[in-house]
Amino acid sequence: MIKNDSELSATFSAIPSNQLIVIEDVDAQSTVLHNRKFEINSIDKFVNAKYIDNNVQNFTSSDFSLSVFLACLDGHLISEGNIIIMTTNHIDFLDPACIRPGQIDVHFKLGYCTHYQLNKMFKNNINESGIPVNVLKNINENVLPPCEVMALMSLYQNEQEQVVIENLIKIANQYNNNHKNICKIENITIKDKKRKCSI
């Protein structure tokens, strides 16, 4: 809805003090915020560039400037006590100026669950004794999304502990199998590409 610098400044200025300002998926809000030094010098960056090109129609056609957006993040235009939170799945797409200290002071990477996180969620929601060690060691780390684990524990909060554990193991196995299938598909694709290149 924000079309230019004046509207952007006015929006930030109109927010009362002591508020949380959340900008969800900031990398998808406008191409103005994308990295100005973007270079295609690796496969990963090629994939990223392709992602941007294919999704450019989904971005807003904003005419606001990066400098005014950065001024809003600096805090000059917002009331005292406000906290700005930006989320992104593609931090590399963002211009470094958007995420440097002074603009965004604290970075949190919300990745997949470690054993510590699984156990902590279990203690907070199901049983203070935590997940039995023999069960926990059979669940791979960095596979389960915290949101799915939390949804599972909320759903089965009033059930017996064993029901929660069985369902946790079930979704962990599903994620493990999906990851293996993705790896197989990627390997086939890479081999096919090599075969085509050799012809």
Mean pLDDT of the chain: 80
On whether the CB atoms of residues 57 and 114 are closer than 8 A, the answer is no
Q: By three-state DSSP, how is residue 21 classified?
A: strand
Same-domain pairing of 10 and 83: yes
82 domain-assigned: yes
Same-domain pairing of 186 and 132: yes
Q: How confident is the model at residue 190 (pLDDT cuts 50, 70, 90)?
A: very low
Say how many C-beta atoms besides its own lie within 10 A of residue 43's C-beta: 8
Same-domain pairing of 20 and 56: yes
The predicted structure's pLDDT at residue 31 = 86
98 domain-assigned: no
Q: By three-state DSSP, how is residue 188 classified?
A: helix
Residue in 26, 161, 172 with CA at minimum distance from that of residue 91? 26
Instruction: Calculate ∠ Cα 100-103-106, nearest 5°.
Output: 70
The domain total for the chain is 2
Q: Tell me the mean pLDDT in the region 166-171.
A: 92
The predicted structure's pLDDT at residue 188 = 40
Query: Which residues make Cβ contacts (< 8 Å) with residue 141, sequence separation at least 6?
Result: 112, 113, 114, 115
Q: Containing domain of residue 168, as a range?
A: 115-196
109 domain-assigned: no
189 domain-assigned: yes
The predicted structure's pLDDT at residue 180 = 57
Same-domain pairing of 132 and 65: no
The predicted structure's pLDDT at residue 75 = 76
The predicted structure's pLDDT at residue 38 = 65
pLDDT at position 176 over 60: yes
Q: Tell me the mean pLDDT in the region 75-89.
A: 87
On whether the CB atoms of residues 49 and 38 are closer than 8 A, the answer is yes
Say how many C-beta atoms besides its own lie within 10 A of residue 113's C-beta: 23
What is the pTM for the complete model shown? 0.61
Question: What is d(CA 41, CA 142) in angstroms, rounded to the nearest whole number?
Answer: 28
Task: Report the first-to-last Cα separation within the chain, whole angstroms.
Answer: 51
Question: What is d(CA 149, CA 167) in angstroms, rounded to the nearest whole number?
Answer: 10
Q: Tell me the mean pLDDT in the region 114-124.
A: 94
Instruction: Calculate ∠ Cα 92-96-101, nearest 5°.
Output: 120
Same-domain pairing of 83 and 32: yes
The predicted structure's pLDDT at residue 43 = 36
pLDDT at position 147 over 80: yes
SS3 content of the chain, % helix, strand, coil (to 5): 55, 5, 40
Q: How confident is the model at residue 36 (pLDDT cuts 50, 70, 90)?
A: confident
